[in-house]
Amino acid sequence: MKKILTLSAAILLGVSALAQQALQGGPSTDSPVINPDGTVTFRYRAPKAVKVTLSGDFLPVQKIEMERNGQKMSFEQPGVAELKEGQNGIWEYTTPFKVAPELYTYSFTVDGNQVLDLSNVYVNRDVSTLSSVLLVPEEGARSDLYAIHRVPHGTVSKVWYPSATAGFDRRLTVYTPAGYETSKTKYPVLYVLHGIGGDEDAWVTQGRATQILDNLIARGQAKPMIVVFTNGNISEEAAPLENSTGYTRPTMSLPQTMEGTFESAFPEIVKFIDSRYRTIAKKQSRAICGLSMGGFHTLYITLNNPDMFNYSGMFSAAIGTGSEGRATHKEIYENIDGKLATYFSRKPALLWIGIGSSDFLIQANNDFRKKLDAAGYPYEYMETDGGHIWRNWRIYLSEFVPKLFK
């Protein structure tokens, strides 16, 4: 009996030691380090490695040419830099330039294998890709909006709604502004849509949307509002690991993508939000915006519901990709000229379009603007540097939100 007790104690001590290993400090290698001169140093410990490289969106971009649907397209990819091996198997790279204030993502490649920065606990997911995160803040810079400050904070909730179209409950992420719980005030609502492969978490994690909202509202630069982040994959209940399919790999190739079902079902989301929250349930107090696929959805949801939204924002909208011709619900994408005429006859407060100068979708967006110009339809336009990237979409959201509900 004594031997059994001794053995049990030893096992418990061993388990305890294992359980506490994570509490005994993190990696000894500091990375990334923002230096006093504004450069950034990255380190990775790999004593047996032959080659270690760094890829990040703060490095000069690489241009990739490819063909899609018979059309030649130019894409940008994050730049690559080589690390040099130093003492104790520590590989190191310091940027030769001051890194501009912004939120960046990066990863290492060790002998051909892509890995995270093991010294950096801050990670985000884009579809099925994990990346390490670097926030370079600077007071007064736009990236200051992405940081958490000591201001009143809104509440972020995960909410399920019944979808008659899908035939099952689906999940939303909902932001209510600071003071919502303690007041009786009714609020306007902004609906924010993600890109292909994304979900209801994308704008909150990669887009830093809740930080942008908290800071703009606290500064008096935006009206307090409810913000609803939808899941545009109508065949899915929620983000990966949050739905009944369990451990499935996130993918861009989901059924019922950009074929009209999500757009046709969108009014049921608006109806649910108006019934669940203290909203100002009228067109003048509703806005919608989205990036890439979400910009595509924004356009067609708006045109098919001309009395629903007073403000619409298209961020790098994935229009002109041929999706309309392959639609299940072709009626959603038909008679665009007639729907535009009806929409603008209702005198919406704002149609806002933003895109990067090297975005592979810029020609399609320019063609759409030419159509608007030819008809004399009003809109606001913003063109930024760079391509189809989160840096631009955070900029567009921070520009669009202050224009709402004036």
Q: What is the three-state SS of the chain?
A: CHHHHHHHHHHHHHHHHHHHHHHCCCCCCCCCEECCCCCEEEEEECCCCCCEEEEECCCCCEEEEEEECCEEEEEEECEEEECEECHHHEEEEECCCCCCCEEEEEEEEECCEEECCCCCCCEEEECCEEEEEEEECCCCCHHHHHCCCCCCCCEEEEEEEEECCCCEEEEEEEEECCCCCCCCCCECEEEEECCCCCCCCHHHHCCCHHHHHHHHHHCCCCCCCEEEECCCCCCCCCCCCCCCCCCCCCCCCCCCCCCCHHHHHHHHHHHHHHHHCCECCCHHHEEEEEECHHHHHHHHHHHHCCCCCCEEEEECCCCCCCHHHHCCCHHHCCCHHHHHHHHHHCCCCEEEEEEECCCCCHHHHHHHHHHHHHHCCCCEEEEECCCCCHHHHHHHHHHHHHHCCC
Residues of the chain with pLDDT under 50: 1-23
- Read off the pLDDT of residues 39-75 as tens digits, 9 standing for 90 and up: 999 999 999 999 999 999 999 988 777 665 566 666 6
Residue 61: predicted pLDDT: 83
pTM of the predicted structure, to 2 decimals: 0.87
Residue 328: predicted pLDDT: 72
Domains of the chain: 25-136 (2.60.40.10), 145-403 (3.40.50.1820)
Residue 11: predicted pLDDT: 35
- Read off the pLDDT of residues 225-267 as tens digits, 9 standing for 90 and up: 999 999 999 888 887 777 777 767 666 566 667 788 999 999 9
Residue 9: predicted pLDDT: 39
